[in-house]
Amino acid sequence: MQQIVIEWFQQYQEVAFVISILVNVIISIVAVIPSAFLTAANVYMYGFTGGMILSFIGESLGVLVAFWLYRKGVLKWLSTREKEPKWMNRLQQVSGKEAFQLIVLLRLLPFVPSGAVTAIASVSSVSMGLFFTASTLGKAPAVLLEVYAVQEVMNNSMIGKGMITIVAIIFLGHYVYKKKTRKV
C-alpha cells in the first residue's frame, strides 16, 4: 500500500499533500486501517520534518471529520451497546476538564484504538472543540513516535526494528491478557 501511495505522490506532486490529508481523513473515518503506510510515504516524499507535519495535520483533521460524521449518526449504535469496556463507559460519562484529560491520555496509549476513542467521544457530551484540542495534543507525541519508527525502519536500523518488536510485544501481551481475563 505504501508503494501505491508513493506512486500517487510522485505522479501528482503538486497536490500530493492534499492526497495525503484526504487519505488520512479516510483512514480516520474507517477507523480500522493503520496509518503507518501513509506516514512512511509522507516521510519518503517530504523527509522527517515535512512528513511528520503532514502526518500530524492529516491525523488531526481526520479525527475532526470522523468525530463530526460519527456525531451525525454514523455510529450512534455505540450508545446502545450493553457490554463495553470500562474506559468506553467512562468516556461517555465525563465532561469538561476530566474529558479533556481522558481523551489526551487515550490518544497517548498505543493499544487503545483511535477510532474507538473518536466513536465513543462522538456519542458523549464532549464538545467538538474540546475533543479536537485534546486529540491533537494526544496525537502530537504519538505521531512523532510513529514518524521516528517509520524512518528508522525505512533506514533498516536496529532501533526501528526494536521499536516495532516492542510494539508487537505490547499488543500481543495485551491480547493475551484480555483473553485470559475473559475466561475468568
- Weakest mean pLDDT among 115-119, 133-137, 168-172: 168-172
Give Cα 114 to chain centroid, integer Å: 4
Per residue in 38-88, pLDDT tens? 988 999 899 999 999 999 999 999 999 999 998 887 555 555 555 555 655
**Is 80 exceeded by the pLDDT of residue 30?**
yes
Mean pLDDT of the 163-177 span: 73
The percent of residues in the chain predicted with pLDDT above 90, rounded, is: 26
The answer to whether the beta carbons of residues 61 and 25 sit under 8 Å apart is: yes
Helix residue spans in 70-157 (DSSP H): 86-93, 96-108, 114-122, 128-154
Backbone angles phi, psi at 85, to 5 degrees: -60, 155
d(CA 42, CA 55): 7
Query: Cβ–Cβ contacts within 10 Å for residue 113, how many?
Result: 12
- Weakest mean pLDDT among 19-33, 54-68, 99-113: 99-113
Q: Which position has the grid cell 468516556?
A: 91
The percent of residues in the chain predicted with pLDDT above 70, rounded, is: 80
Q: What pLDDT is recorded for position 64? A: 94
**Is 80 exceeded by the pLDDT of residue 22?**
yes
The pTM (predicted TM-score) of the whole model is: 0.73
- Intra-chain end-to-end CA distance of the chain, in Å: 40
Q: What pLDDT is recorded for position 68? A: 93
Mean pLDDT of the 3-28 span: 89
